[in-house]
Structure 1
Amino acid sequence: MNFSNIKAVIPARYGSSRLPGKPLLLIRKKPIFWHVVQRCIEAGIRINDIVIATDDQRIYDESEKLSLPVLMTSPEHQSGTDRINEVANILGWPAETIVINVQGDEPLLPSELIKTVATYTVNHPNFSITTAVTPIGKREDFINPNVVKAIIGSEGRALYFTRSAAPFNRDDHNDISLAYRHVGIYAYTVESLNTFCSYPEAPLERYEKLEQLRALSNGLTIGACVFYQQLPHGVDTLKDYEIIKEIMEKNNAFN
């Protein structure tokens, strides 16, 4: 698959409420966002098509020191999507360019996931936005409001996203065979990205605290590919960082 028309943007914000400055935390003597860049390269995206989008001079300076493409963006953005849209506009990417939003706090993100989403997006241009889901295998995840469920209809079309236990099998309450967990990676064309960011916050988005509901509320379509590999946790807390750092420092597969 040729990914020449695909860009990867990695939002790297300094001011995380739970772990301020986490993009600069070191693993194997490199900051977390450096490792995310490596996962994108492993997926087949060229370094010149990757951009770190930050709002902090320290992250910007460290990126330049490591010879990574970086762009300073507004500190006023409410979401990573708005930050990515600013990058696309500043760099003047054409409307048909595909942009993948890769979270900057997931150094263990499988490169295969990025590749799967990129390939799915190229092969399904009928969707405004694409994302990924993974089957839910445990009932405790199904009922956990911190696990976002994706309701998937025909041909991979996402019908809804919710924190509730859904879809619910009326006849067999223990059946979760159609339950999927949403994976927080997105791809959009620049045109769809601009359209999405032109909409105000939607009532359902505010209600469930799920940004993707803004897209569905305004008629944009979302396609979801199913990813069957195990997904590691990202770095949200200091404990997450310590666990992931230990895993990566013991594994020689990581530089």
Structure 2
Amino acid sequence: MSFCVLIPARMASSRLPEKPLADIAGLPMVVRVAQRAKLSAASRVVVAADDARIVAACQAHGIDALLTRTDHPSGSDRLAQACDLLDLQDSDMVVNVQGDEPLIDPASIDAAAKLLQNRIDCSMSTLAHPIDNVEDFTNPNVVKVVLDAHNTAMYFSRAPISWWRDGGITALPKPAPLRHVGLYGYRVGFLREFPHLAQAPMELTESLEQLRALWHGHRIAVHVTAHSPGPGVDTPEDLAKVRALLR
């Protein structure tokens, strides 16, 4: 199995300005993410940045980084340009690790890559884990996914799905609903195609880019893990939590 990890990183975060360079125990956050990714089986780990300061910070700590355009409308567009800059072939595989996941489990990265390699019927792979509390089930910031019998995604939603007809929202349905983890494996050929696909109506409603792939008939394989990943960083409160954990 051969694959490359790409980490998109951009400065313009409304909730946490200059998030990629936020200090976590003496290192920029994006560097910590890349260091975790290097513990996976990836042949190469590269940060795709929109700002020269991110590239400089990565290079200062021995992390490969390249500068992409600042006007990309989505992370997928940034990754597609990175594939071109790295001269990757359409048959190659990449795993997209978000730049705000400094506690990412390297085994999760390997799982996404291995699943995509084995599921030749799918253009993408991703992860999910069981939800264990009602608060997460009803939280629109926690994305849920419903699978078919082969662990292929049927739908992603911010709504609580599958809905328990007889239980309402006072308790979790059984089997436990699944939380989607935003880590993706891609075949490079599809990643180059994706930014040119028309946006899906349901994608615009839910603000979930992966629904575009489903709407156009592409399949997404899902690896179900037993436990949730380490916390990501979206807000100053998240940053404080991760700093405390690493201390």
| Cross-structure match for 1:37 | 34
Residue from 16, 33, 44 that aligns with 2:13: 16
- Paired-residue identity, %: 37
> 5 Å matches for 1:71-150?
71-150=66-145
| Structure 1 stretches lacking a partner, 5+ long | 250-255
Q: Does 1:225 align with 2:223?
A: yes
Unpaired segments of 5 or more residues in structure 2?
none
The superposition leaves residues 71-121 of structure 1 with CA deviations (integer Å, 9 ceiling, x where unpaired) of: 100111111111001100122211110011100111011112112212212
Aligned-pair RMSD on alpha carbons?
1.4
Aligned to 1:57: 52
1:152 aligns with 2:150: no
Does the residue aligned with 1:242 lie in a helix, a strand or coil? helix
Determine which of 233, 241, 244 is the counterpart of 1:243: 241
Q: Distance in 2 between matches of 1:192 and 1:156?
A: 20
CA contact (8 A) 1:152 1:158 kept: yes
Structure 1 CA distance, aligned partners of 2:166 and 2:245? 42
More displaced stretch, 23-32 vs 212-221: 23-32
TM-score (norm 2): 0.94
* Match of residue 156 from structure 2: 161
CA contact under 8 A between 1:151 and 1:160: conserved in structure 2? Answer: yes
Q: How far is 1:44 from its partner?
A: 2.0
Task: Indicate if the aligned counterparts of 1:167 and 1:178 stay in contact, CA closer than 8 A.
Answer: no
Give TM-score, length-normalised by structure 1: 0.91
Helix, strand or coil for the counterpart of 1:168? coil
Is residue 15–residue 21 contact of structure 1 (8 Å, CA) maintained in 2?
A: yes
C-alpha displacement of 1:68: 1.4
Matched position secondary structure for 1:155: coil
The number of residue pairs the alignment matches comes to 244
Match of 1:182 in 2: 180
